[in-house]
Amino acid sequence: MKVDLLFAEIGSTTTVITAFDGFGNKVKIVGQGEHWTTVNEGDVTIGIEKAINNLKEKIKEKNLTWEKFAASSSAAGGLKMTVHGLVYDMTVRAAREAALGAGAVIKYVTAGKMDEFHLNKIKEISPKLILLAGGVDYGEKETVIHNAKLLSKLDLDVPIIFAGNIAAAEQVEYILSNAGKKVFITENVYPKIDELNVEPTRNVVKEVFAQNITKAPGMEKIYDIVDYKIHTTPGAVMKTAELLSEMFNDVAVVDIGGATTDIDSVTEGSKEIQKITISPEPIAKRTVEGDLGLFVNAKTVIDMIGEENLRKEFENFDELVKRISPYPKSDSDEYFISRLALYCFQQGLRRHVGKKKHLYTPLGRKLIAEGKDLTAVKYLFGTGGFLSRSKYAKNVLNSINHLSRLHPMKLLPQEEVKIFRDKYYIFAAIGVISSEIDRKIAKDILEIDIEKLGG
């Protein structure tokens, strides 16, 4: 049997292989297999091969072949970055939005002129990529040039993206390239006051990830088997969120994983909130909550909920904690994990959104809004191992319709939200298919993948 595409999502814990066929005709999902990711064995293709064998067993097809092979990866900790700008609330925040939207993991952020302390901190973190920004176009450039000179002394072989004041770009490139640094110059992430321009930087971050993924332990052989560039899994899911926004307008996607909870939203917000917003937000925004996860960070989530509270809810709490796994063996295990997932979901959304607040001015009290506005969102999509597969996913996702009443000053969805899930766990695959193969095929797959759960 020959299929059109085999797709590998290489996670930090598991590798999932999905077979697609019928491209150009009636697309279908042939089947799916998985295995533990084998980064620690020094060769990620071992896990891919075993996941393919698992797929063959499931579809009862020993002679499976494929026309093309594609992949996304969040293995080896993702793309570790540091971000450096001029003013935190302006260029630094814009640079962070660009990096997170591309699937990066931001380990360190600075604002203003850097010094030797900052340089030593970067060296200690040892990022895979540095993003340098600062200044509106043709505005202040002294700070970013100072920071470029400092980064030129950095004793690390790491690429640097410059996404700051266009008037400083040539000088920054000269300083860094003369020091032997690999430099990428792109458009300013904050070209004018109150104007974000994050997409060009996102694209460069994705490109650098594709070029450097083979340097991650165990990933060296990946390009021997793929036919397209490798995408970050979070970046691919963001691309799917943008596709969903073309189909449904204002949308949000929640991905609860073993280590993090990621929220992607694509919305301009409501006109009512736009009138009182004090600073711009990107239409497509991603946040990563590194302390909200169901397995790697389960203990952290339990501590945040409160162990005593959970002991009152679950008589066999100690046994349930011992059995936490991506593959629960009993209904009580799965229900306990759903309790942790509920907290991750609600807390992740609350952190993702902005809020309304009152300012006191000489003319009296004034209502303002800051941060991401989801008040216009009417469609929510769940993805990730738990939300795609658990029978308790509906309970977790439907809780969004109570959040705005509990937190009236938060910019959460205000009306009843329609709830869907990525039932085949393929949002990353759809994002890569959209970028590398065909947007219509990606949308056709979405049509058969998303399952309505409520609303």
pLDDT tens per residue, range 60-87:
999 999 999 999 987 655 578 999 999 9
Q: How many CB atoms lie within 10 A of CB 155?
A: 6
Close Cβ partners of 126 (under 8 Å, ≥ 6 residues apart): 80, 156, 158
Superfamily of domain 2-75+217-224: ATPase, nucleotide binding domain (3.30.420.40)
Kind plus residue range of the DSSP H or E element containing 67 = strand 65-73
User: Mean per-residue pLDDT for 221-238?
Assistant: 88
If one compares 259 and 275, the residue with the highest pLDDT of the two is: 275
Q: How does pLDDT run across 352-395, given as a tens digit for each residue?
A: 999 999 998 888 899 999 999 999 999 999 999 899 999 999 99
Phi, psi of 214 (to 5 degrees): -70, -10
From residue 76, alpha-carbon distances to 13, 40, 51, 368, 377 in Å are: 10, 9, 18, 41, 33
Write down the pTM of the prediction: 0.84
Close Cβ partners of 236 (under 8 Å, ≥ 6 residues apart): 72, 103, 427, 428, 429, 430, 431, 432, 435
The CATH number that domain 231-454 falls under is: 3.30.420
Domain with CATH 3.30.420.40 in the chain: 2-75+217-224
DSSP three-state, residue 58: helix
Domain with CATH 3.40.50.360 in the chain: 79-214
Q: pLDDT-based confidence at 217, cuts 50/70/90?
A: low
Q: How does pLDDT run across 393-418, given as a tens digit for each residue?
A: 999 999 999 999 999 999 999 889 99
CATH of 79-214, one of 3.40.50.360, 1.20.210.10, 3.40.640.10, 3.40.470.10: 3.40.50.360
Give 108's strand partners. Answer: 82
**Closest-CA residue to 351 (of 329, 336, 371):** 371
Q: How does pLDDT run across 314-323, given as a tens digit for each residue?
A: 999 999 999 9
Q: pLDDT-based confidence at 296, cuts 50/70/90?
A: confident
User: Is 60 exceeded by the pLDDT of residue 421?
Assistant: yes
Phi, psi of 452 (to 5 degrees): -75, 130
* Per-residue pLDDT, 98: 85
User: Is 70 exceeded by the pLDDT of residue 264?
Assistant: yes
User: Is 80 exceeded by the pLDDT of residue 432?
Assistant: yes
User: Mean per-residue pLDDT for 238-252?
Assistant: 96
* C-alpha–C-alpha distance, residues 39 and 145, integer Å: 39
Can you list the alpha helix ranges (DSSP code H) found in 249-306?
A: 271-274, 298-305
User: Is 90 exceeded by the pLDDT of residue 179?
Assistant: yes
Range in 13-27, 67-81, 144-158, 342-356 the model is least confident about? 67-81
User: Is 90 exceeded by the pLDDT of residue 9?
Assistant: yes
Q: pLDDT-based confidence at 96, cuts 50/70/90?
A: confident
Question: Which one-letter amino acid corresponds to residue 199?
Answer: E
* Per-residue pLDDT, 213: 65
* Per-residue pLDDT, 22: 95
Structure tokens at 290: 């590194």
